[in-house]
Structures are given as structure tokens and as C-alpha cells.
């Protein structure tokens, strides 16, 4: 038997969590370094998987590195079944990278360090698990396991309204998950023989009655849409982002939001093509509303972190638009690109906002001005990611948005896509205004004279994100190749 690489990616962080919990809590340095080193293993493993998948497996849509299905709870036909394909590999890569980056960025946490790092590693295990699970029950377990550390990370180390934000996040996502649970159970009992195996269910589900497909599709959609979050389920997101500590915001924006879109692509889209065809227009409409609404709300924000948070709503709207154009490989690929690119860019944006906040203790955009004079390196990096975020050609954001528009234009209502293109213009507006207000203009020497430049650790943590953003922007082909076979297969499944 091969080395169970996927299981190790999921469970090494759990082992790390236990190890961290055994270190005495006064020994802060050891806790930090242990968790960082532990998180490097899944990161390297996810890099290796990406490398190996690209060279050996990306030609076919079949699952790679499959483990199982082993019987876990035979009385309920629950299996332990893992595997990855072209849509989960990029997500694994992103999760591995962003977790290590966020742990590096968490070294400035001084309050209750041990618990913080323990919860963070548990969070990583949950995220990795979601992207590799192929059994519904297992998927659900990982999906929920993540909520607990996230609740604590926001609630203990968050900002002034942390308790409200934490419980809102927890309740909102739990509500969504329960919709998913009902669908899972309905699918289990209507499939013959009863199964929770996602791959089998993808084969079986299109033969179910139309009503059943619609009900399950809508329930799954609510569950995943809350996670994305799609307008109008987005209200937990600004609260959670603003209150969460920097590294948690990075994970939230970089990985957690992607779970929603990933799950749609993995589960509900290929499983219920009939329902998808019926509802795709409306999905595109709420995607478009998300794009425009998120951009408009971003424009009105006075708080820098809130601006980035609402820009996520707008960017994830593009993903939904790409997903609604399910008949086009280009659009779906664009959606995947957007997921990766948004993870990199917004992750970096949150890191940078955190860097500024640590020094200035405020995030109010109007409080700054002319910072470009005082901290040029920080300004340079921030402007780079701002440009990537507004979709400047040569960066990954442009590639993804372009692909989504090209794909969606052929597949969806042209008026609707036209409206969405306006979202890009609005995006440029709020980003440029933000850049102008913070980095250009008059410098308040009395207030910000003591501001220090971004330090080496912080540069190290954003550097890989910057490199990847530009690399994907300049040469997107490898990523496209990696996903092609899987996406083509998905599109055929959705055309059934």
C-alpha cells in the first residue's frame, strides 16, 4: 500500500495540536515554533501533491491518491474515503500555504498562546479534511469540526465585539450545515443501495425525481451559500472579519470561503444537473447582486478591514457567476482561478491590514494619509496587492475575471454579464480611493511620525503570495492544465 499522504495531511495537524497542548504554557517560543514546524509538513505535502498530480495524474479526471473506501461505521454505511482531483489539489495547495503563512503571522499573539496555536492546528485539520473527503458523512464531520476552533479563535482573540461576531458565525454556519445534513439523509435513503459515497451518488442522483432533486439542490445551496457567502447570506462575514485576529481573517477569506464554492462544484452541481439548469439564471442573478452590492458597500466603508471584507463578497460573486455558467469549461475554470487568486490576494490584503493595525492601532481609512513617504516598502507591497485585487492585467485577478466573463458571456444572459463587468469598474473605484487616502496625499508627521516599516517576518509571510499572484497572472497555463481534465469531466456530468 502506498503511503497514505492525504490522511497524513489531515491528521498531522491533529498530532501537532496534541503536542502543542503538552508543552507548558509559559514556554511560548517552543509553542510557536512547534506549531509552525508542524504546519510545514502538510504544506510541503500539499506542494508535493500538486507537483506529482501535475506531472502524473492531471490527464484524467479520476481521483488520485485514493484511500479507501474503508468501512468506518458499517451499520450506517459510513466509510472512510479520501481522494483528490483537479479541483481539490489547488485548494489543498492554498490551504497548506496559507496556514503556514498565517501561523508565521501569528507570532505576535501574546495572550493565551498555547490555546491559540492548538486551535489553529485543529482548524487546519478540518480544512484539509473538507478538501479530501469523498464520503458525505466524513465531509460533514470535517465541515463542522472547523467551526469550533474558528468560534474560539474569533471569540477569544478577537476585537471589541468578538463575542457577537463569534456566535453569529457559529450559528449561521451551523444553520446552513443542518440543511446539508437533511439533504444528505434524504439522498442516503433514496439511493438504492443506501450509500453516502459521493462518487456513487453523482452517478445515481440525476435519475431521481425532479422534486427531490430540487429540494436537495436548494438545501445544499443554502448550506454552501452561507459559507461562500452569497448575497443575501453574507451578513456574518463583515462581523467575523472585522473582529477576528489577522491570521484568522486570512484563513477565513483565503480558505473557508472557498469551501462553499468548492462544495458546490464537488457536490451539488454534478449531482443535480436538472435542478441546476432550472435555477442557473437565478444563481447568476444573486451572483451579480453580490458583485455590485459588495462593491458598492465597500465604497462606503470607513474601516480598512471592513472594506477588504466586503470586497470578498464582491469577488465571491464572480465565482458564483462563473458557477452559474456551468456549461462552459472556461467559466468554471475562471471560477477555480478566482478561488485561488482571491485566496492569495485577499489573504495578503488581510495580512497587510494587520501589519498596519499592529503599528497604528486604528484601521480608519480617513485617519491616514501620505504613508507612502514614511513606509515605502509597505506601500509598495500593499499597492501591488491592491492592483491585483482590482484586476490589473499581469496579475491573477485579471486572469480569473477575464475567464469568467468570456465563459459566462456565451452561456448566460449578456445583459446580466454586462452588469457584472461594471462590478470591475466599481472594484477599481473603491480600491483606488483606498490607496489614495492612505498612501498618497498629505502626511501627518505629528501623528504618524513614529510609524515603523514592515519587518522581515512580515515580508516573508506575504512574499510567497506575491510571487504566486504574479506567476499565475503572467503564466496561468500550468494551473489551467492541472484542472482541465477534471473540469471537462464535470461539465459533461452537468450536461446530463
Partner 1 sequence: MEWQLPEYNLQMMLPEIFLFLWALAVMTFDLVTKRKTGSAVGYLSLLGLLVTGFILSVTGYGRGFTTMFFNDPMSLFFKIIFLGSAFMAIASSFGITKQKIVNHRGEYFGLILLSAVGMMFLSSSNELLSLYIGLELTTIPLFVLAAFFKDDKLSVEAGIKYFVVGAFSSALLLYGLSFLYGLSGTTDLVQMKINLAITHLTFKNIGLILSLAVVLLVAGIGFKLALPPFHQWAPDVYEGSPTPIAAFLSVGSKAAGLVAFAKIFLNGLSAFYSPVMAPNDWGKLAGLLACLALIIGNVLAIRQSNIKRMLAYSSIAHAGYIMIGMVAMNELGIASVGFYLFAYLFANMGAFGVVAIFEDKSGSCQITSYAGLSKTSPLLSISMTVFLLSLAGIPPLAGFLAKYYVFAAAIKVAATDPAFSWMYWLVGIGLLTAVFSLYYYANVIKQMYFSAELSPYRISFSAPAMSVLLIGLIGVFLFGLYPEPILQFASKMSLVFGFVQY
Q: To the nearest whole angstrom, how small is the minimum distance from the Cβ of residue 38 to partner 1?
A: 20
CA distances from 65 to 120, 264, 427 (A): 26, 22, 40
CA distances from 31 to 27, 36, 149, 228, 272 (A): 7, 9, 17, 32, 46
Q: Please, which residues have CB within 8 angstroms of residue 451's CB and are 6 or more apart in sequence? A: 359, 360, 371, 374, 375
Provide the residue count of the chain. 496
Q: To the nearest whole angstrom, how small is the minimum distance from the Cβ of residue 340 to partner 1?
A: 28
Q: To the nearest whole angstrom, how small is the minimum distance from the Cβ of residue 162 to partner 1?
A: 7
Q: Does 189 bind partner 1 (CB under 8 A)?
A: yes
Q: Which of 81, 117, 140, 405 binds partner 1 (CB under 8 A)?
A: 140
Q: Which of 7, 8, 190, 429 binds partner 1 (CB under 8 A)?
A: 190
Residues that contact partner 1, how many (by CB under 8 A): 34
Q: Does 156 bind partner 1 (CB under 8 A)?
A: yes
Binding characters for partner 1, 233-262, by CB under 8 A (x = yes): ------------------------------
Q: Please, which residues have CB within 8 angstroms of residue 76's CB and are 6 or more apart in sequence? A: 137, 196
143: which 3 cell numbers?
465541515
Q: List alpha helices for 53-135, DSSP H.
A: 88-105, 113-132
65 vs 136, beta carbon nearer partner 1: 136
170 vs 310, beta carbon nearer partner 1: 170
Span near partner 1 by CB under 8 A; candidates 86-94, 174-182, 238-246, 459-467 = 174-182
SS3 for 102-125, per residue?
A: HHHHHHHCCCCHHHHHHHHHHHHH
Q: Which of 44, 175, 421, 474 binds partner 1 (CB under 8 A)?
A: 175
Element (H, E) at 70: strand 64-73
68 vs 369, beta carbon nearer partner 1: 68
Q: Does 163 bind partner 1 (CB under 8 A)?
A: yes
CA distances from 51 to 19, 82, 92, 137 (A): 29, 19, 12, 29
22 vs 446, beta carbon nearer partner 1: 22
Binding characters for partner 1, 54-73, by CB under 8 A (x = yes): -------------------x
Q: To the nearest whole angstrom, how small is the minimum distance from the Cβ of residue 144 to partner 1?
A: 5
Q: Does 170 bind partner 1 (CB under 8 A)?
A: yes
Neighbouring CB atoms inside 10 A of 56's CB total: 9
Q: To the nearest whole angstrom, how small is the minimum distance from the Cβ of residue 396 to partner 1?
A: 35
Span near partner 1 by CB under 8 A; candidates 140-148, 273-281, 305-313, 482-490 = 140-148
223 vs 479, beta carbon nearer partner 1: 223
Span near partner 1 by CB under 8 A; candidates 29-37, 148-156, 197-205, 465-473 = 148-156
* Residue pair 360/434 in contact by the 8 Å Cβ criterion: no
C-alpha 370: how far from its chain's center?
A: 32
Radius of gyration for the chain, computed over Cα atoms and rounded to the nearest angstrom:
22
**Torsion angle of the four alpha carbons 405, 406, 407, 409, in this order, in degrees rounded to the nearest 10:** 70
Q: List alpha helices for 325-443, DSSP H.
A: 329-360, 371-374, 376-390, 396-411, 414-439
Helices 113-132, 88-105: axis angle to 10 degrees equals 170
CA distance 314 to 311: 5
CA distance 124 to 88: 15
Q: Does 141 bind partner 1 (CB under 8 A)?
A: yes
Span near partner 1 by CB under 8 A; candidates 147-155, 286-294, 339-347, 477-485 = 147-155
Q: To the nearest whole angstrom, how small is the minimum distance from the Cβ of residue 388 to partner 1?
A: 35
DSSP 8-class letter at 256: I
Q: Does 186 bind partner 1 (CB under 8 A)?
A: yes
Q: Does 44 bind partner 1 (CB under 8 A)?
A: no
157 vs 368, beta carbon nearer partner 1: 157
Q: Based on the number of CB atoms within 10 Å of its own CB, is 189 exposed (0-12), middle (13-18) or buried (19 or more)?
A: exposed
Q: Which of 40, 182, 299, 440 binds partner 1 (CB under 8 A)?
A: 182
Binding characters for partner 1, 314-353, by CB under 8 A (x = yes): ----------------------------------------
Q: Please, which residues have CB within 8 angstroms of residue 26's CB and are 6 or more apart in sequence? A: none
Within 73-102, which residues bind partner 1 (CB under 8 A)? 73-76
126 vs 427, beta carbon nearer partner 1: 126
395: which 3 cell numbers?
496579475
Q: To the nearest whole angstrom, how small is the minimum distance from the Cβ of residue 463 to partner 1?
A: 34
Element (H, E) at 76: none
Q: Does 148 bind partner 1 (CB under 8 A)?
A: yes
Q: Does 151 bind partner 1 (CB under 8 A)?
A: yes
Binding site for partner 1 (CB under 8 A): 73-76, 112, 115, 137, 140-141, 144-145, 147-148, 151-152, 155-156, 162-163, 166-167, 170-171, 174-175, 178-179, 181-182, 185-186, 188-190
Amino acid at each position: 500500500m502506498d503511503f497514505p499522504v492525504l490522511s497524513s495531511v489531515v491528521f498531522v495537524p491533529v498530532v501537532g495540536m496534541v503536542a502543542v497542548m503538552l508543552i507548558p504554557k509559559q514556554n511560548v517560543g517552543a509553542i510557536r515554533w512547534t506549531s509552525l514546524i508542524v504546519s510545514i509538513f502538510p504544506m510541503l505535502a500539499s506542494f508535493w501533491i500538486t507537483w506529482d498530480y501535475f506531472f502524473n495524474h492531471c490527464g484524467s479526471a479520476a481521483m488520485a491518491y485514493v484511500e479507501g473506501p474503508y468501512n468506518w461505521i458499517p451499520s450506517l454505511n459510513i466509510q472512510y474515503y479520501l481522494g483528490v482531483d483537479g479541483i481539490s489539489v489547488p485548494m489543498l495547495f492554498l490551504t497548506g500555504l496559507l496556514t503556514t503563512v498565517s501561523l508565521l503571522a501569528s507570532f505576535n499573539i501574546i495572550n493565551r498562546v498555547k490555546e491559540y496555536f492548538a486551535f489553529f492546528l485543529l482548524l487546519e485539520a478540518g480544512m484539509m479534511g473538507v478538501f479530501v473527503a469523498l464520503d458525505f458523512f466524513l465531509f460533514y464531520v470535517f465541515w463542522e469540526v472547523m467551526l469550533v476552533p474558528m468560534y474560539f479563535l474569533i471569540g477569544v482573540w478577537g476585537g471589541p465585539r468578538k463575542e457577537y461576531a463569534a456566535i453569529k458565525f457559529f450559528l449561521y454556519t451551523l444553520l446552513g450545515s443542518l440543511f446539508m445534513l437533511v439533504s444528505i439523509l434524504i439522498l442516503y435513503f433514496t439511493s438504492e443501495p443506501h450509500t453516502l459515497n459521493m462518487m456513487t451518488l453523482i452517478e445515481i442522483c440525476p435519475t431521481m425525481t425532479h422534486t427531490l432533486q430540487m429540494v436537495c439542490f436548494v438545501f445544499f445551496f443554502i448550506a454552501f451559500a452561507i459559507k461562500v457567502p452569497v448575497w443575501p447570506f453574507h451578513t456574518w462575514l463583515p462581523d467575523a472579519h472585522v473582529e477576528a485576529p489577522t491570521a484568522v481573517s486570512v484563513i477565513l477569506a483565503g480558505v473557508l470561503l472557498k469551501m462553499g464554492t468548492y462544495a458546490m462544484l464537488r457536490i451539488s452541481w454534478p449531482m443535480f444537473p436538472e435542478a441546476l439548469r432550472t435555477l442557473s439564471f437565478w444563481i447568476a442573478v444573486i451572483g451579480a447582486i453580490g458583485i455590485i452590492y459588495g462593491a458598492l458597500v465597500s465604497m462606503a466603508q470607513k474601516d480598512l478591514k471592513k472594506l477588504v471584507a466586503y470586497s470578498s463578497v464582491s469577488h465571491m460573486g464572480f465565482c458564483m457567476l462563473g458557477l452559474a455558467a456551468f456549461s462552459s469549461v472556461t467559466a468554471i475554470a475562471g471560477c477555480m482561478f478566482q478561488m485561488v487568486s482571491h485566496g492569495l490576494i485577499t489573504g495578503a490584503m488581510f495580512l497587510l491590514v494587520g501589519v498596519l493595525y499592529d503599528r497604528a492601532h486604528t484601521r480608519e481609512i480617513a485617519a491616514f494619509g501620505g504613508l507612502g513617504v514614511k513606509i515605502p516598502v509597505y506601500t509598495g507591497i500593499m499597492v501591488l496587492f491592491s492592483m491585483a485585487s482590482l484586476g490589473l492585467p499581469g496579475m491573477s485577478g485579471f486572469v480569473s475575471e477575464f475567464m469568467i466573463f468570456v465563459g459566462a458571456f456565451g452561456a448566460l444572459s449578456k445583459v446580466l454579464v454586462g452588469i457584472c463587468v461594471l462590478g470591475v469598474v466599481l472594484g477599481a473605484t473603491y480600491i483606488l480611493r483606498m490607496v489614495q487616502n492612505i498612501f498618497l496625499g498629505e502626511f501627518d508627521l505629528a501623528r504618524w511620525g513614529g510609524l515603523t516599516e514592515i519587518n522581515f517576518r512580515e515580508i516573508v509571510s506575504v512574499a510567497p503570495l506575491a510571487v504566486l499572484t504574479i506567476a499565475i497572472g503572467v503564466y496561468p497555463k500550468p494551473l489551467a492544465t492541472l484542472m482541465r481534465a477534471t473540469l471537462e469531466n464535470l461539465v459533461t456530468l452537468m450536461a446530463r
